[in-house]
């Protein structure tokens, strides 16, 4: 399988982390963030929005959207729970990640780290940081008394939520008010299969 990616993208990191936990082989194809390589007619055939991650699972068969990719990698491993209710709970947290975490923590990080906090984006950045704090509070409350988001083992929900939350400080969102999230980050990093985003 071939992963088209930006190495510093949290969405692409989720896929590498899932592959590491699932112990499945894959190859990496780095795309440029600013060279137009994700907007060529050839790449748009693979990923119609011109986005990464995109995972070529077989010649001509490409998956986009990280939740779908994580499901494809995780099914058949302990990353995807056995019981329907737990599967539904994993989907709940993956929807939360897409709808609540990406527009806040991921955008705060992108505008801070990659755009250098442009003055004209100050209001958007402040909104993204505030939204990130709300997302982290919900995660922190849920993690009280729990080791992982669903059940007692890491699932693709943990993989998805770990990516941008553990980099919150890169968007200047302080993690100190969220001790259960910080403890869960420590737990995730201590798992034998863990890989960091920056190698
Ligand atoms: N919902 C998608 C979001 C993917 C996404 O936003 N990818 C970014 C990199 S993190 C991208 O390719 N941006 C380039 C663009 O939108 O032109 C997912 O979870 O995979």
Give 35 Cα–ligand 1 centroid separation in angstroms: 15
Atom of ligand 1 nearest to the CA of 10: 10
- pTM here is 0.98
pLDDT tens digits, residue range 35-53? 999 999 999 999 999 999 9
Give the pLDDT confidence of 156-193 residue by residue, as tens digits: 999 999 999 999 999 999 999 999 999 999 999 999 99
Complete edge-to-edge strand list for the sheet that includes strand 27-30: 27-30, 2-5, 54-58, 61-64
Mutate to test the pocket of ligand 1, among 47, 48, 52, 65 (most ligand atoms within 8 A of CB): 52
Q: Position of tokens 């990406």?
A: 102
Q: Is the pLDDT of residue 199 over 90?
A: no
How large is the C-alpha radius of gyration of the chain?
17
Cis peptide before 53 (omega within 30 of 0): yes
Say how far apart CA 80 and CA 78 lie, in whole Å.
5
* 3-state SS assignment for residue 2: strand
Could you tell me which of 25, 40, 109, 119 has the C-alpha nearest to residue 73? 25
């Amino acid at each position: 399988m071939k992963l088209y990616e930006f190495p510093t993208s949290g969405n692409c990191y989720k896929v590498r982390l899932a592959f590491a936990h699932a112990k499945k082989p894959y190859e990496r194809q780095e795309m440029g963030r600013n060279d137009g390589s994700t907007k060529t007619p050839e790449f748009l055939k693979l990923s119609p929005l011109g986005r990464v991650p995109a995972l070529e699972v077989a010649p001509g068969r490409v998956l986009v959207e990280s939740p779908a990719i994580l499901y494809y990698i995780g099914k058949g491993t302990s990353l995807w729970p056995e019981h329907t209710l737990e599967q539904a709970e994993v989907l709940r947290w993956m929807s939360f990640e897409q709808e609540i975490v990406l527009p806040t923590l991921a955008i705060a990080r992108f505008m801070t780290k990659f755009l250098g906090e442009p003055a004209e984006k100050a209001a958007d950045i402040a909104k993204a940081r505030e939204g990130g704090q709300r997302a982290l509070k919900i995660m922190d409350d849920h993690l009280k008394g729990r080791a992982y988001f669903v059940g007692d083992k890491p699932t693709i929900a943990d993989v998805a939520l770990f990516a941008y939350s553990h980099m919150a400080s890169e968007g200047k969102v302080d993690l100190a008010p969220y001790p259960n999230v910080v403890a869960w980050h420590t737990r995730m990093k201590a798992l034998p299969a863990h890989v960091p985003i920056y190698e």
